[in-house]
Amino acid sequence: SDQFISIYQTSEEQLLEKAVQDGVETMWDRKAAMKAPCGFGEKGICCRICAMGPCRISPVAGKGAQRGICGATADVIVARNLARMVAAGTASHSDHARDIAHVMHMASRDGNFKIRDEKKLLDLASEWGVKTEDRDIYEVAHEVAEIALNEFGKPFGTLRFLERAPEKRKKVWDDLQIRPRAIDREIATILHSTHIGCTGDAESLLHMSMRTALADGWGGSMIGTVFSDILYGTPVPRETESNLGVLDEKQVNIILHGHEPSLSEMIVMASLDPEMQKLAKKVGAEGINLAGMCCTGNEVTMRHGVKIAGNFYQQEMAVLTGAVEAVIVDVQCIFPSLVPITECYHTKFITTSPKAKITGATHIEFHEDRALESAKAIVREAIENFKNRKKEKVFIPTEKSSGVVGYSVEAIIKQLDKVVNPHIDPMGTIKPLADVIKAGVLRGAVGIVGCNNPKSKHDYSHIEIMKKMIANDVIVVTTGCAAQAAVKAGLTNKDARKLAGQGLATVCELVDIPPVLHLGSCVDISRIMTIVGEVAKHMDLDNSDLPVAGIAPEWMSEKAVAIANYVVATGIDTFLGITPPVTGSEEVMDIMTNRVEAMTGAKFFIEEDPHVLADKVLSRIEEKRQKLGI
């Protein structure tokens, strides 16, 4: 049944075979060398927070060490470890956002960074009480950027974007006292509270984790999305292609990997520069072929239709093709193994951020104040490397799929406007979506997000769950590496509506959308929070009343842990396809999969079998519908 899975598995198998021939070590060799994972770490009951330890708690109740040397219980140790994952994840998304806000603060009419979506900027300015009349748009931008930068460390108040949530949700946050105050502050507080001898209560730690995570979803991530849209344009639907087959033997292949769009936007501009094109011809290439990977790939495909080479798991594979002149990275989800693996080929591995230097890589720092110049220097390195490519070492798999990407909230609303009244003025609201859900034409909506993890067959869980959702008239929105899995599998293609149930297929046909909508990178999960909130507001409900769910089938990163926590704190059930390191504490498990529902109206489900997980999502969706009487 899984035609597409077996297709690209073949190419991956071929590449892994090539790795053996070329004497290259891959993640699979290292996974095998790792043998079974440490049982204590897996359960979350290893603590190395202070130097009296490390301490590990016996996984058997009543037998062996039941507390660390300081007296911390398994519950406290597990909750502390989880809280620190949330803090790191929140820090990553938010520090990314901080850089984007800085870029907006330096944007100018004659500089490299400009304001592309003036309307979004002006809307935000009025939302934040910034004067706009008789002012230069750049002056407005700088003031708005400064306000955003203050969201990270302001001493008073709570985060501004929280105001965008439905009233009922805000009340939940107030009752629980989990409105984040300032982004950096929540991260610092968690680090403080998890220091030895501070918080010794699991529930309190999970409570703090939710507040910190909200500083990600409704803080850092939302700033990341909104500011990127203002600077680089709000995405609109466009065609793209994905999988390793997008690499082109005749061109200079450049992999753009990492997360922040500021670098990749400039690389896109640099690669279009006639001087660079000329140079490419001069070295004997037909042109410059950019191919995205991970969230950077999502950012540039959403805004420029740049092709996607693949997701997280394919970063080594791309190099194994022997056809890549340079892998250009900034921050996050970059394998340090790209150093030894690129050394086996002619490929240059170029780091660009002082936040993510990697021993053995070529570091060419990207300076925002002379962005295009920096980007050109990097692209030039790649082009000049074309002549070093060894023909006999090149093998590019042919597999690739096409799809439509670029579904920002604005694009979705515009598209949905076609449902009810194609002939009269568009409403510009979320009403049509609410209507089709209420009517049961769509049973609900799910966000399928997150990474690849070798604990699951590559992309298998993503795709199986997506297919089951759409077959049951549940529309899918997707971001991150899950979204790339969807494009590769053809599910973001409009033709994929033939895999959808009758209701969803009809909607797709009426409004000309695929059944799986690519919403962007992982910070763009803030777009999903916005849509859910708007539907809830429209129906005068809370998020937790809606037949919606979040699913992270193959997650692996700390960022994913932060996301899962803010999604639950936002009132949306979250299904995890990989078990988090919390099973060593009955209390933490009980809070996450049970008690948290009484607090936020949503909870975690942990289920490693994708088919069982999908069934659980569907029955939870029906449960919610029943409660609503729809």
Contacts of 307 (CB under 8 A, 6+ apart): 240, 241, 242, 246, 289, 290, 291, 292, 301, 400
Task: Look up residue 240 and give its amino acid.
Answer: T
508 is in an annotated binding site: no
Q: Indicate the residue among 324 and 433 with the shorter CB distance to ligand BF8.
A: 324
| Region from 57-65, 209-217, 260-268, 553-561 binding ligand BF8, contact rule CB under 6 A | 553-561
557 binds ligand BF8 (CB under 6 A): yes
Of 172, 309, 333, 466, the one binding ligand BF8 (CB under 6 A) is 333
We find the least distance from the C-beta atom of residue 67 to ligand SF4, in angstroms, to be 8
344 is in an annotated binding site: no
Binding mask 232-271 for ligand BF8 (x = CB under 6 A): ---------------------------x------------
Q: Are strands 252-257 and 401-405 parallel, antiparallel or unpaired?
A: unpaired
> Has 46 been labeled as part of a binding site?
yes
Q: β-strands 252-257, 444-448: how paired?
A: unpaired
Report the 3 state secondary structure along 324-352.
CCEEEECCCCCCCCHHHHHHCCCCEEEEC
70 is in an annotated binding site: yes
Tell me the closest approach of the beta carbon of residue 488 to ligand BF8, in angstroms: 13
Question: Is 198 annotated for ligand binding?
Answer: no
Coil/strand/helix, residue 576: strand
Question: Minimum Å distance from CB 89 to ligand BF8?
Answer: 9
Burial 103-140 (b: 16+ CB within 10 A, else e): bbbbbeeeebbebbbeebbbebbeeeebeeeeeebbeb
Q: Measured from the CB of residue 264, what is the shortest distance to ligand BF8 in angstroms?
A: 13
- What residues between 577 and 616 interact with ligand BF8 by CB under 6 A? none
- Our CB check for ligand SF4 shows the closer of 12 and 587 to be 587
- State how far the Cα of 624 lies from the Cα of 546, in Å rounded to an integer: 6
CA angle 298, 304, 309 (to 5 degrees): 45
Give the nearest distance from C-beta 582 to ligand SF4 in angstroms.
16
Here the tokens at position 517 are 């909508």
List the single partner that 559 binds among ligand BF8, ligand SF4, none, CB under 5 to 8 Å by kind. Answer: ligand BF8
Minimum CB separation of residue 614 from ligand BF8 in Å reads 20
Provide, rounded to whole angstroms, the least separation between the CB of residue 70 and ligand SF4.
Answer: 3
CA 510 from centre of chain: 29
CA distance 331 to 306: 19
Closer to ligand BF8 by CB, 289 or 315: give it: 315
Which amino acid appears at position 549 of this protein?
A
Distance CA 143, CA 619 (A): 47
Shorter beta-carbon distance to ligand BF8: residue 399 or 459:
459
User: Which residue shows structure tokens 């799986």?
Assistant: 516
Residues in region 420-479 near ligand BF8 by CB under 6 A: 450-451
Q: Is 451 marked as binding a ligand? A: yes
Residue 167: CB atoms within 10 A of its CB come to: 10
Binding partner selected for residue 503 from ligand SF4, ligand BF8, none, CB under the kind-specific 5 to 8 Å limit: none
Among 180, 233, 480, 520, binds ligand BF8 (CB under 6 A): 480
CB 407, CB 225: distance < 8 Å = no
Cα torsion 531, 537, 540, 546 to 10°: value is 20
Quick one: what does residue 88 bind among ligand BF8, ligand SF4, none, with the CB cut-off 5 to 8 Å set by partner type? none
Q: How many residues bind ligand BF8 (CB under 6 A)?
A: 14
69 versus 272: smaller Cβ distance to ligand SF4: 69
What string of DSSP letters covers 547-564? SEEEEETT--SHHHHHHH
Q: Which SS3 state, helix, strand or coil, does residue 62 take?
A: coil
Among 124, 223, 295, 356, binds ligand BF8 (CB under 6 A): 295
Sign, CA dihedral 108-109-113-115, equals positive
Residue 49 interacts with, from ligand BF8, ligand SF4, none (CB under 5-8 Å by kind): ligand SF4
Give the Cα separation of 533 and 26 in Å (integer).
Answer: 42
Pick one of 312, 335, 345, 395: the residue that binds ligand BF8 (CB under 6 A): 312
Contact partner, 628, from ligand BF8, ligand SF4, none, Cβ < 5-8 Å per class: none
Please give the structure tokens belonging to residue 127: 């939302």
Is there a contact between 599 and 569 (Cβ–Cβ < 8 Å)? no
User: At closest approach, how far in Å is the CB of 198 from ligand BF8?
Assistant: 28
Exactly one of 19, 141, 213, 522 binds ligand BF8 (CB under 6 A); that residue is 522
What is the CA angle 9-288-273, rounded to 5? Answer: 145
DSSP reduced 3-state for 132: coil
d(CA 53, CA 56): 8
Could you say which of 140, 145, 285, 294 contacts ligand BF8 (CB under 6 A)? 294
Tokens of 307: 């092709």
Q: Is 155 exposed, middle or buried (0-12, 13-18, 19+ CB in 10 A)?
A: exposed
Cα angle 504, 510, 514 (rounded to 5 degrees) comes to: 55
Say if residue 37 is exposed, middle or buried (CB neighbours under 10 Å; 0-12, 13-18, 19+).
exposed
The interface region with ligand BF8, picked from 215-223, 350-358, 556-564, 588-596 by CB under 6 A, is 556-564
DSSP-H helix ranges across 199-259: 202-215, 221-232
Residue indicated by tokens 């400064």 = 146
- 375 interacts with, out of ligand BF8, ligand SF4, none, CB within 5 to 8 A per kind: none
CB of 318 to ligand BF8, least distance (A): 14
CB of 521 to ligand BF8, least distance (A): 6
Q: Which amino acid is at 89?
A: G
For residues 77 and 252, which CB has a smaller minimum distance to ligand SF4 in the complex?
A: 77
- 303, 559, 620, 624: residue in contact with ligand BF8 (rule CB under 6 A): 559
Q: Which listed option, ligand SF4, ligand BF8, none, makes contact with residue 15 (CB within 5 to 8 Å by class)?
A: none
- Interface residues with ligand SF4 (CB under 6 A) are 47-50, 52-55, 68-70, 72, 77, 196
Write down the least CB distance from residue 80 to ligand SF4, Å.
8
Q: Which residue has the tokens 């999908």?
A: 614
List binding-site positions for [Ni-4Fe-4S] cluster.
Answer: 259, 295, 333, 451, 481, 522
Binding site for ligand BF8 (CB under 6 A): 259, 294-295, 312, 333, 450-451, 480-481, 521-522, 557, 559-560
List binding-site positions for [4Fe-4S] cluster.
Answer: 38, 46-47, 50, 55, 70
